[in-house]
Each structure stands twice: as structure tokens, then as C-alpha cells.
Chain A
Amino acid sequence: MGAKVMVSFTLNGTPADVVVEPRELLIHTLREKCQHTGPHIGCETSHCGACTVDMDGMSVKSCTILTVQAQGAQVMTVEGLAAGGDLHALQEAFMQEHALQCGFCTPGMLMRAWRLLQENPNPSEEEIRYWMAGNLCRCTGYQNIVKAVQYAARKLRGEAVETSHPLLEPAQ
């Protein structure tokens, strides 16, 4: 144990100040101190990516980052994806293409895909599969996740997409 230190970072656009031991992992700070419980923990060997958040323009596994390393960082979690209350194209896509079941990998998948589409707005199926390979899913068999990322990519490029989720229809 070490003496606690204060760490300040920006979480989904809002300043966050936390007091942590130097050994505290970012995932625990986000979940337990910031009460952003969207990011999850699925392993302790840095494989599953359920804890993926975006930090300073990179997809990071927040179980493998110390909170003290986030000093001054811009951190974004799944809770910040629906900016201004509108769902992000990826969130819409995951619902439309049935790309989630239990939902446990979903926050990490979404955050990884969010960064992927900024790095590569027009990915091939092979590229999506490879670029999402840091994220494990036990339910979907990935196929619909690939379809969802393709859907979101199309929508973000301004191409037509077909939406049939009633919750996504404009309010009447």
C-alpha cells in the first residue's frame, strides 16, 4: 500500500477528481469511485477487453492502467457515447443487428469499435474482425458484431441504413 494521491482527469467531458492508492486500477476507479459501471471486468490477464475505455485517443484496457496514469487524461466510457442524449450510430447498430445478448462485453465492444471507426471509417470485414480482436464475447459468435460495426460505419459515412428498432424511431 502506498499513500493515497489525488488524480484529476476528464471523464466523458466532465472533470473528475479521485483519491486513490497508486496501485488502484483505472477500471476499479471508474466503476467504484466514479460509479460508471458500464465497463466490466472479465479477466485478470488483459485478454477480454470488457474494460475497454477510450483514453487520450486510444482504446485502452482499463484493467491494465493505473488510475494515477490517467492524471490529466481525457477518458471516455460507454456512458459518454450517447452525446446529448442521442444514441451513437454504434449503439443503434448493435441493437439493430442483434450484436449483444448478455450485454457484458458490449460496453467494451462499443468503445473499441468507436475508436476503430475513427481510425478506419471504411473497414473490411477482415479488418473489423482483426481490429476488434482484443475484445472477447461469449454470446454472439461475433458475426452480428461485425454486421453492427459495418452498419455504424455506413451510417457515419452518411450512407443509408435501415432501422427497424421501434425505440429508435423519432418521438411522435
Chain B
Amino acid sequence: MDTSMERLAALEGMGCSRKRREDPRFIQGKGSYVDDIRMPGMLFGTMVRSPFAHARITRIDTSRALALPGVHAVLTAEDLKPLKLHWMPTLAGDVQAVLADGKVSFQNQEVAFVVADDRYIAADAAELVEVDYEELPALVDPLHALDADAPVIREDIRDKAVGAHGARRHPNHIFTWQMGDKDKTDRAFDAAEVSVAQDIVYPRVHPCPLETCGCVASFDKVRGDLTVYITSQAPHVVRTVVGLLSSIPESKIRIISPDIGGGFGNKVGVYPGYVTSIVASIVLGRPVKWIESRSENLSATAFARDYHMHGELAATRDGVVKALRVNVVADHGAFDACADPTKWPAGMFHVCTGSYQIPNAFVSVDGVYTNKFPGGVAYRCSFRVTEAVYLIERMMDVLALKLGIDKTELRLRNFIRREQFPYTTPLGLEYDSGDYETALRKVLAAVDYPALLAEQAARRADPDAEWLMGIGVSTFTEIVGAGPSKMCDILGVGMFDSCEIRVHPDGSAIARMGTITQGQGHQTTYAQIIASEAGIPASKIQVEEGDTATAPYGLGTYGSRSTPVAGAAVARAARKIREKARRIAAHLLEASPDDVEFDLDRFVLKGSPDQSKSVKEVAWAAYNNVPEGMEMGLEAVDYYDPPNFTFPFGVYLCVLDVNRYTGEVRVRRFYALDDCGTRINPMIIEGQIHGGLTEGFAVAMGQEMPYDESGNLLGATLLDYFVPTAVETPHWETDYTVTPSPHHPIGAKGVAESPHVGSIPCFTSAVVDAFGHLGVTHMNMPHNAYHVWQQCRELGLART
């Protein structure tokens, strides 16, 4: 008989660095991504897009395009109007033009959809569509969006006094969202010994997954059903939305997310290209493929951030924080398509009190329209947690500078203590668990923080030093796992998730979830949970997601919600199977179920360890010999409505050097400690961390989507948009502690967005710290050489 260690190893369950089951197909070019799909009679669609940011469309002439051999259709808003599909609802409760209806509101907006035999002909035909525009003044500065004379972007809702999120006070005003006790917070500021204020811009960036968005829509006129292969992070939600828009019943709609080449929040929402492909397929009765280019992806699909924040902290002289006050102007572009739970127009921004005991807080966010492409929530943001963490971490540094207290010491003085969890914040969140002080002390010891400070002091003392030295720190609390259905829904659907496990007679199993991986390794890690909970070797478990015809309904993968929500459903479904199996085992052992207990991969009679039935034996019996009155078969389903979010945390520390003459920044060291509770697969977690830190590096150091005054988007290709290569990307050091989530079935928290959320303020902290002794409290991202050199020049450090 195998030893229990060998049996445990054979399961490849929780906690082991199991190699990925996805890899064999990907390393052999046998993945199946949307553009790999070929269907008989398939046509190719492409968009005609607006060259202007803001203009009236006076004429669209499609005749030359239609005359081109190989062109089957050219759709414009006029064609979509009878179907009421020229506009579509967004996850934010607004509407978005599918094809421009009389006017364009951002550059590269969708104007017409050309369908042709292949992508070469479609591109030719798109060139032949003639559109006449009458240019209008463009609005690009969100801080002037609500000026009395600002151009009105949304004439379709100009006089609508109440939007999806309350009253609107200007045609360009989307919503005002507030949280916290304003009067109490104001009083705390009035009474404060010390207060600091800082304007902080979190620039517009883009998630830029290597695979762009696309789909293959196939309406079968004979069967009357619609199949869509799509780059969607939420295929079931897409099915519901398509059902609502098309009046085809959901039972006749099959949405399939196949292998997805990265999502990063870019592939949550519905884009016009999906809608036009579906319409074209319905009209033509043939499959229609749409695959966007990189520049289309970067200029017209969900951007991230664009928060213009004003933060204030009140504190005592010895650094005890008393209050936080935040005002934000949120630039949402021309349509509010920001992916959020319905009730949260600023996402989970109210986690902005961070890892600290702050008794009073008030936040106010104003969303405004501008002549830019829609989005906001994307790119590992966890619903605006990136912005929230950036705000509080920056403000803690600003306060530390003002008080002359070391920034790690200031954090230690204000941390929520381990014994205070579950901790209720003044903005209404209940943090599940945490041990921040242990984590910070572990990191400070690992990098020898005192030695770093001494080295920095020596560098600062040398007036001729060419390289300035900066030390950055970020001690963040995430909120992931949306979420409890009484707080969170997507277009009315509660944000539960699900798992269905079916054990076959031979003891192997098929398991499906309502989430959808885009590289995070679900096909490997979900099997590990089942292995540990139900005693079925992970290698015998087939995990599938993404096909709405087979997988149970779920809300998809974003907001690091897979482990907190579907991961919980997986564990609970596996436990249901374990419990039924235990009863079958008792029947086989002719014992009372109470006398039979689960042991790794078998059920053992208490007190008689040699009397046992393996899970495999029980699976066979489930199909031929079950206790009287018990249903045959061995399967279970679980739909999990989480009682709370999970709140992973981390401590990041960055050391970098800044060249005072060129502005070049060199990251010397980056140390990342993450605590996501119980760790399912450490290898996969580490990969998530490496990827997230690299994104953070890109965002902090170079990514931006600047607009000129006419509303031209500058740099929406990889010619300018900074995606680091292996050369630029620093070497990462990772570490962890384990503070389980008490409410989660296996104690696991989400983690995948933590590295992005936490690293960006850490980089800024380090860059600013290089100038901290010279009175600099904040520098806006990106910290590219030009911007940093400008700071050097302003301080008289650069050569003149």
C-alpha cells in the first residue's frame, strides 16, 4: 500500500506547484483562439472608423465599397436602427453607439461595418466607404468638461436630468458618487494638528492583451440558433445581453470563449464589433469573423484609469492619521461603458482608506464625458482599486515627508492590527483578515532597509552624485471576489459563481465553472481544489470553462474573482460529492455513515484502517450499487453567493537609481510580498505576480494615452505605447505570508491583480523618494526619462 505521503503526492492537490495542463497544446501551437476558428462560408468583417474626435456625419456613401467584388454588406447605423441596435446598453447603465448615429464622439469610433470574402478585401472596401464629416470642437480635458461653454458630447441625453447613477448637473456630467461621513470628516480636518493635500493624476493607460478582441458569429437560419466564438471574459453575461438585444431566447444562443490570449480586463464588455458581426451573420445567414488590429484595440476598447484625484490626510503631529478626504474627476470618455457592478459607478474605490485605521473618511467621484474612447475599469484594477491604493499610498508618503517620519514607520503606526479583523472601515467595507505588520517587518528585514537608508543618506550627502537613489514602499490592501449579491450585480444578475462536477464510473471527472481563464491556469488549479476536497487525482479531472451550452452560469473572470467565488463553489461542489461518496462507502462497508471518514483518496471505517473503499471504488458503485433510496450517479453543482469579498494584501519595496542628467530610471531591486491566504498553486501565483509587476512597471514608467487638443489620440500603436521587453523588465523577488480568509471555504483569497495594484504606487514612491530630500512630494506618471529629466531640470540638477 502506498504511504499517505505518496497518496497525497498522487492527488496533486492544494498547495503543490502542479505543472499546467494547458501547456501541452500551447507549446505545440494547438491552442484554439478566436482567429483560429474557421467555419464553412465564413466571411470577414472590418470597421470603418472616424478620423475625428467630434464631428457630425453628413453623408455616408457605401456604393463604391458595395460594388467591389467580394463585398457582401456594408452596415451603417441606418441598417441597425430598425433592429434598435444602433445603440447598445453598457455595464455602467449608459448606452454606447454601435455604429455612429449622426455624429462621432471619439477618434476611431465605429462608423460602418464592411463584410467581405476575406480580410484583404474587407480592408480595401473599408477604404472605399466615403464619409463626410462636419467637425465640432473637441473636449479632451476632463477638468473643463463641466464648464458652462464646454462642447456637449452627448446630445442624445442632453436634457436627461437623471442618469443611471443619480442626478446630472451638466450635459457632460455622468454621475456624482459619494461615500462616507462628510461632516464628520470635515470636522476632523478642522481640528487636525497637521494636514496634507496633493493633486494626483492616474493617467489613462490600456491593458493591451497580446491577442486583440474578436469574434466569429454564426447564425444558423435553419435551426434558428446563434453561436458566437468570442474573446469574452464573461460569456454567460454576453449570452444574456445578446438574448435581451436580439430577442433570441438564451436557450438558442451559444457563446463560446475558447482559448483567450490574455484578457486583463479588456475583454469584459461587449464591443460594437461583436454586435455588428452578429447582425451581419443574421442578415447574411453566414458566419462572420471580426478581428480587430492592435491600433483599433488600443484606441477603441476599454482603457484603464484616467482618475484625476485630490487627496487630503489629517493627522496628529506624531503621525496618527485622523481623516481622509478625496475628490475625483473621472474621465469616462464619450460613453460610460465602465465595467462595474451596477451599484458601484466608481467601483470599489472606497477601499481607499487602505491598510490603515482611519476613523473618518469621505470620498466623492464625479464622472464626466469627454471625446475619448470608453472604458475605465480594466487592466488588473479590481474595480478602481488601483486608483484607491495609489491614492492612499501616495498620501501616506506625502504625510510622511511633511512630518519627517520614515514612511515605513508611519505605516506601522497606522496599520490595522491583526487582532482587529474583521475590521470595518469608515467607508463601509469589512476586511476579512490581515497581518500587515508581520509582512512589512519581513520585507524590511529581507532587503536590509536600514542599510538602504544609510546608502541613500550617503548618496544624498554627495553633491556630485550623478545617480539619485530612491526607495519606494507600498503596503496595500486589495478587495477582490465580487461579490455578495445584495451589494453586487452585473446588469441585475447577482455576482455569484458556480461549479458543476460529474464523476464518471471509472473515477475520473469532468468539472465546469462559470468563470473563464485567459491564462491564469484555471484548468490546472481548479482540479487541485477538487483533488484535495474529493480525493480524485487532479490528473483525472478535466476542467472546462467558457461554453455557455455546457458550463454552469457564472459571471466570468475579472476582479480576481475566480478563486474567491468560483474557487469556493468548486470546493463546495467537491464536498457535496465527498459527502455522497462517504454514504456510498458506508453502504459498501456495511457501516453507518457516521463511522466512515474521508482520508485523502478513500473512505475508512473508524478504528479499522484496513477497511476502506477508495474514491475510485465508490465512483463505480455510484453507478450500480447505492444505498436504498439514494439517487444513482455521483455529481454535484454549487452556485456560490459569497458572504463578503476577500482582502489579500501585500508589502512591496522598490529600490531604484535616477540619472540626474538624463532622467533615466534603473530599477535596482523590487521585492514583492503577497498574502492571498491559502495558496492553491505557488508556481502559478508566482507567475501571476511576475506578470502583474511587469504591468505595474509599464504603467508607472512609460505607458500613457495622450490626446492633443483636437482629440487625436497619440501613440495608440506599439510604436509608442510602452510594452516592456525582457530587456527593460526588472528581475522580480517574491515572498509571501499566509493569512487565510476566514469566510472562504478553503481560506483562499484572490491575488492576480495585487501585483499590478500594489506595484504602481511603489514605483512612484521610489521615483519621488529620489527627490524627497529636495522637497518633491509627488510626480505624475509615467516616470519616463523625459518627465523625470524635466523634474531634474526644475530642481537645477540637470546640466543646463
A interface residues with partner B (beta carbon < 8 Å): 1, 21, 23-24, 28, 31-32, 35-45, 47-48, 50, 77-79, 81-82, 87, 91, 94-96, 98, 100-107, 110, 128-130, 132-146, 164-167
Q: How many angstroms between the C-alpha atoms of A43 and B210 in the bound complex?
A: 8
Is B727's CB within 8 Å of the partner chain A? Answer: yes
Query: What residues of chain B lie closer than 8 Å to A107, measured between beta carbons?
Result: 26, 29
Q: Are A136 and B209 in contact (CB under 8 A)?
A: no
Query: What residues of chain A lie closer than 8 Å to B119, measured between beta carbons?
Result: 28
8 contacts between A and B (CB under 8 A): A37-B35, A40-B210, A101-B520, A101-B687, A133-B727, A140-B691, A140-B694, A166-B539
Q: Which residue of B lies closest to A128 (CB)?
A: B726
Q: Which residue of A lies closest to B731 (CB)?
A: A143
- Of the candidates B23, B259, B691, B717, the one whose C-beta lies within 8 Å of that of A138 is B691
Q: How many angstroms between the C-alpha atoms of A94 and B28 in the bound complex?
A: 11
Given known A38-B29, A130-B727, contact A138–B693 (CB-CB < 8 A) = no
Q: Which residue of B lies closest to A97 (CB)?
A: B683
Q: Which residue of B lies closest to A77 (CB)?
A: B29
Is B101's CB within 8 Å of the partner chain A? Answer: no
Q: Which of B667-712 contact A (CB under 8 A)?
A: 683-684, 686-687, 689-695
Q: Are A102 and B211 in contact (CB under 8 A)?
A: yes
Q: Are B19 and A166 in contact (CB under 8 A)?
A: yes
- Of the candidates B30, B518, B694, B725, the one whose C-beta lies within 8 Å of that of A133 is B725
Q: Are A138 and B262 in contact (CB under 8 A)?
A: yes
Q: How many angstroms between the C-alpha atoms of A155 and B691 in the bound complex?
A: 26
Query: What residues of chain A lie closer than 8 Å to B723, measured between beta carbons?
Result: 47-48, 136, 138
- Of the candidates B293, B687, B695, B718, the one whose C-beta lies within 8 Å of that of A48 is B718
Is B319's CB within 8 Å of the partner chain A? Answer: no
Is B182's CB within 8 Å of the partner chain A? Answer: no
Q: Are A37 and B691 in contact (CB under 8 A)?
A: no
Q: Are B19 and A95 in contact (CB under 8 A)?
A: yes
Q: Which residue of A lies closest to B37 (CB)?
A: A37
Chain A nearest CB from B668 CB (Å) reads 15
Q: How many angstroms between the C-alpha atoms of A28 and B121 in the bound complex?
A: 13
Interface string of B188-213 (1 = CB under 8 A from A): 00000000000000000000111110
Q: Are B727 and A100 in contact (CB under 8 A)?
A: no
Q: Which residue of B lies closest to A90 (CB)?
A: B27
Q: How many angstroms between the C-alpha atoms of A133 and B729 in the bound complex?
A: 10
Beyond A48-B718, A91-B28, A102-B211, 20 additional contacts (C-beta under 8 Å) are: A32-B38, A36-B29, A40-B35, A44-B293, A45-B294, A45-B717, A47-B718, A101-B519, A103-B27, A105-B210, A130-B727, A135-B726, A137-B210, A138-B262, A139-B691, A140-B687, A142-B726, A142-B729, A143-B732, A144-B690
Q: Are B519 and A139 in contact (CB under 8 A)?
A: yes
Q: How many angstroms between the C-alpha atoms of A48 and B725 in the bound complex?
A: 9
Chain B nearest CB from A135 CB (Å) reads 7
Q: Are B262 and A43 in contact (CB under 8 A)?
A: no
Q: Which residue of B lies closest to A43 (CB)?
A: B294
Chain A nearest CB from B445 CB (Å) reads 23
- Of the candidates A79, A98, A143, the one whose C-beta lies within 8 Å of that of B28 is A79
Chain B nearest CB from A61 CB (Å) reads 12
Q: Are B19 and A142 in contact (CB under 8 A)?
A: no
Query: What residues of chain A lie closer than 8 Å to B483, measured between beta carbons?
Result: none
Is B33's CB within 8 Å of the partner chain A? Answer: yes
Q: Are B120 and A31 in contact (CB under 8 A)?
A: no
Query: What residues of chain A lie closer than 8 Å to B539, measured between beta carbons?
Result: 166
Is B609's CB within 8 Å of the partner chain A? Answer: no
Q: Which of B504-538 contact A (CB under 8 A)?
A: 518-521
Q: Are B208 and A106 in contact (CB under 8 A)?
A: no
Q: Are A110 and B27 in contact (CB under 8 A)?
A: yes
Given known A133-B727, A141-B690, contact A44–B30 (CB-CB < 8 A) = no
Taking chain A's interface residues, is the majority helix, strand, or loop, or is none over half, making it mixed?
Answer: loop
Query: What residues of chain B lie closer than 8 Å to A35, measured between beta carbons?
Result: 38
Is B329's CB within 8 Å of the partner chain A? Answer: no
Q: How many angstroms between the C-alpha atoms of A166 and B10 in the bound complex?
A: 11
Given known A40-B211, A79-B29, contact A101–B691 (CB-CB < 8 A) = yes
Query: What residues of chain A lie closer than 8 Å to B687, measured between beta carbons?
Result: 98, 101, 139-141, 144
Query: What residues of chain B lie closer than 8 Å to A110, measured between beta carbons?
Result: 27
Given known A102-B211, A103-B261, A166-B539, contact A142–B694 (CB-CB < 8 A) = yes
Query: What residues of chain A lie closer than 8 Å to B690, measured between beta carbons?
Result: 140-144
Query: What residues of chain B lie closer than 8 Å to A40, measured between beta carbons?
Result: 33, 35, 210-211, 261
**Residue of B210, B212, B259 ringed by the most chain A CB atoms within 10 A:** B210
**Residue of A28, A31, A79, A129 ringed by the most chain B CB atoms within 10 A:** A129
Q: Are A38 and B28 in contact (CB under 8 A)?
A: yes
Query: What residues of chain A lie closer than 8 Å to B209, measured between beta carbons?
Result: 102, 104, 138
- Of the candidates B22, B694, B718, the one whose C-beta lies within 8 Å of that of A141 is B694
Interface size class of B (residues with CB under 8 A): 35 or more
Given known A79-B29, A104-B261, contact A146–B718 (CB-CB < 8 A) = no
Is B789's CB within 8 Å of the partner chain A? Answer: no
Q: Are A45 and B718 in contact (CB under 8 A)?
A: yes
Q: Are A141 and B691 in contact (CB under 8 A)?
A: yes
Q: Which of B246-276 contact A (CB under 8 A)?
A: 259-262, 264
Chain A nearest CB from B70 CB (Å) reads 10
Is B295's CB within 8 Å of the partner chain A? Answer: yes
Q: Which of B316-360 contact A (CB under 8 A)?
A: none
Q: Which of B207-253 contact A (CB under 8 A)?
A: 208-212
Given known A81-B28, A142-B726, contact A44–B519 (CB-CB < 8 A) = no
Chain A nearest CB from B385 CB (Å) reads 20
Given known A37-B36, A103-B261, A141-B690, contact A44–B295 (CB-CB < 8 A) = yes
Q: How many angstroms between the C-alpha atoms of A140 and B731 in the bound complex?
A: 12
Query: What residues of chain B lie closer than 8 Å to A130, measured between beta carbons?
Result: 726-727
Query: What residues of chain A lie closer than 8 Å to B264, measured between beta carbons?
Result: 138
Q: Are B686 and A98 in contact (CB under 8 A)?
A: yes
Q: Which residue of B lies closest to A37 (CB)?
A: B36
Q: Are B210 and A106 in contact (CB under 8 A)?
A: no
Chain B nearest CB from A108 CB (Å) reads 10
Query: What residues of chain A lie closer than 8 Å to B208, measured between beta carbons?
Result: 138
Given known A95-B19, A98-B686, A101-B687, contact A106–B26 (CB-CB < 8 A) = yes
Chain A nearest CB from B672 CB (Å) reads 11
Is B20's CB within 8 Å of the partner chain A? Answer: yes
Q: How many angstroms between the C-alpha atoms of A133 and B728 in the bound complex?
A: 9
Query: What residues of chain B lie closer than 8 Å to A28, measured between beta carbons?
Result: 119
Q: Are A167 and B293 in contact (CB under 8 A)?
A: no
Q: Are B691 and A42 in contact (CB under 8 A)?
A: no
Q: How many angstroms between the C-alpha atoms of A98 and B683 in the bound complex?
A: 7
Interface string of B126-139 (1 = CB under 8 A from A): 00000000000000
Chain B nearest CB from A93 CB (Å) reads 9
Is B772's CB within 8 Å of the partner chain A? Answer: no
Q: Are A138 and B725 in contact (CB under 8 A)?
A: no
Query: What residues of chain B lie closer than 8 Å to A50, measured between beta carbons?
Result: 210
Q: How many angstroms between the C-alpha atoms of A26 and B362 in the bound complex?
A: 57
Q: Are A37 and B29 in contact (CB under 8 A)?
A: yes
Q: Which residue of A lies closest to B697 (CB)?
A: A141
Given known A44-B294, A103-B259, A142-B726, contact A95–B519 (CB-CB < 8 A) = no
**Residue of A42, A87, A91, A110 ringed by the most chain B CB atoms within 10 A:** A42
Q: Are B726 and A145 in contact (CB under 8 A)?
A: yes
Query: What residues of chain B lie closer than 8 Å to A167, measured between beta carbons?
Result: 19, 24
Query: What residues of chain B lie closer than 8 Å to A100, measured between beta carbons?
Result: 20, 23, 26-27
Query: What residues of chain B lie closer than 8 Å to A47, measured between beta carbons?
Result: 718-719, 723
Query: What residues of chain A lie closer than 8 Å to B726, measured between beta carbons?
Result: 128-130, 132-133, 135, 137, 142, 145-146
Chain A nearest CB from B231 CB (Å) reads 11
Query: What residues of chain B lie closer than 8 Å to A164, measured between beta carbons?
Result: 19
Q: Are A98 and B20 in contact (CB under 8 A)?
A: yes
Is B124's CB within 8 Å of the partner chain A? Answer: yes
